[in-house]
Amino acid sequence: MAAGNKMDVHPALIGSLSPTVSSDKVINFSPGPTSLPKSVENEIAASFTKSGFTSLALSHRSPEFIDILDKTTATLKRVMGIPDNYEILFTHGGGHGQFAALPLNLCHELSDVATYVVNGTWSARGRDEAQKYCNAETIDGKDPQTGKFTHFPELTEENINVQSKYVYLCSNETVNGIELHRLPKLPESRKHIPLVVDASSDFTTKPIDWNGDNVGVLFACASKNIGHPGLTMTVVRKDLLGEGKASPLCPGVFNYTTNSEAGNLWNTPATFNIEVVGLLMNWLDREGGVAANEQRSIAKSQVLYDVIDNSNGFYATPVANKMLRSRMNLPFNIKGGDDTLTQKFLIESWEAGMVGLRTLTPFGVGDYLRASLYNGVTEEQAETLAQFMIAFATNNT
């Protein structure tokens, strides 16, 4: 990176998303917030040219917004196969809000036990927040030799406390590139324990066996696959709701029972964001539902992993187990992390319209670049990045 004044630094090296190409050629590989499918973005834009109020200006208690809320909820249930014994809540505070809300709702006492499967950055943050409100026990997914998160630990009777109020996991670790393509089964003696899932970055990209996998709570921040920042969709099994189940310390804004009984209207919800989730779910329905979306996700990720695996070491990804490689977030480095080549790659790809491969985060820039392949990225766009990577390797070997 160039020294001195920030004006000397190429925009690609500080995470700029505004390359010098026409807007129709820009491909957004950001890890979130990111772009929605183009047809959904066009629908949103068109809503601002129609007569009458948009959802940005609708009272949350108006019949017009209640209609939006009801339709969004119904479409979510139908497209994602959410059974009637689950409640859909539209919550505040993002994923970090749910890191606190989960133990506050499912653990009545500070001494109550919860088991956290920690196999990456976000499950670790979830566990760390929960420790304030319950006795959070850890199943550690770090490789004992490298100290890195590169696998998913086995779930056994020995490492799951039978008194656990829930077992928590993140189904796709965006930073570490580990994804569970299907939720794991708990041991027979632990199947009574509800499974809690952070599905923020892979929701809508694969089917969920809600009752079969004993899902108690599943939450997804909207800003990766289903909408815009400022909204989290939280699905709660109804038997976990009820008077006296939450901690007495639980704030009303985070209380699942309070918000369920108020029909998502206990306080003002993110009206516009809820409408966008509904538009996204309609798009998913038109495009063949979850089954077709999973096939698109497989195709998008495979074309990039093929380039990495066939590059004779020019590119590398940290997750060797192909059954655990994320379809959503593909970490890769160049020549073992060569800084000069990495900067050259970022600049040239940015100038070709591919942005978001490195973002500045609270964790620094990390050891790897990342291509995030959410619903807003098409198969053709993934192929464009793959062809660029092939050409770059050829020109710099």
Query: Which residues belong to the active site?
Result: 122, 198, 224
Q: Which two tokens stand for residue 46?
A: 């068109």
Residues 6+ apart with CB under 8 A from 39: 283
User: Across 156-237, where does the E strand assignment appear?
Assistant: 167-170, 172-173, 178-179, 195-198, 215-221, 232-237
* Angstrom distance (rounded) from CA 363 to CA 29: 18
Q: Are strands 329-334 and 172-173 parallel, antiparallel or unpaired?
A: unpaired
Instruction: Scan for tokens 């964001």, then name that residue.
Output: 273
DSSP type of residue 330: E
DSSP string, 14-31: GT----SS-GGG-EE--S
Residues 6+ apart with CB under 8 A from 300: 327, 373, 377, 378, 379, 382
In this structure, how many other beta carbons lie within 10 angstroms of the beta carbon of residue 27?
24
If you compute the radius of gyration of the chain from its CA atoms, what whole number of angstroms results? 22
Q: Alpha helix (H) ranges present in 110-251?
A: 121-130, 222-225
Helix (H) or strand (E) holding 294: helix 289-309
- Residue 238 phi/psi, 5-degree rounding, is -65, -25
* Angstrom distance (rounded) from CA 37 to CA 296: 13
Q: Which two tokens stand for residue 176?
A: 């570490």
* Angstrom distance (rounded) from CA 324 to CA 126: 21
Q: How far is CA 344 from the centre of its chain?
A: 29
| Cα-based distances in Å from 315 to 168, 292, 346 | 33, 29, 14
* Angstrom distance (rounded) from CA 331 to CA 343: 16
Q: Are strands 215-221 and 172-173 parallel, antiparallel or unpaired?
A: unpaired
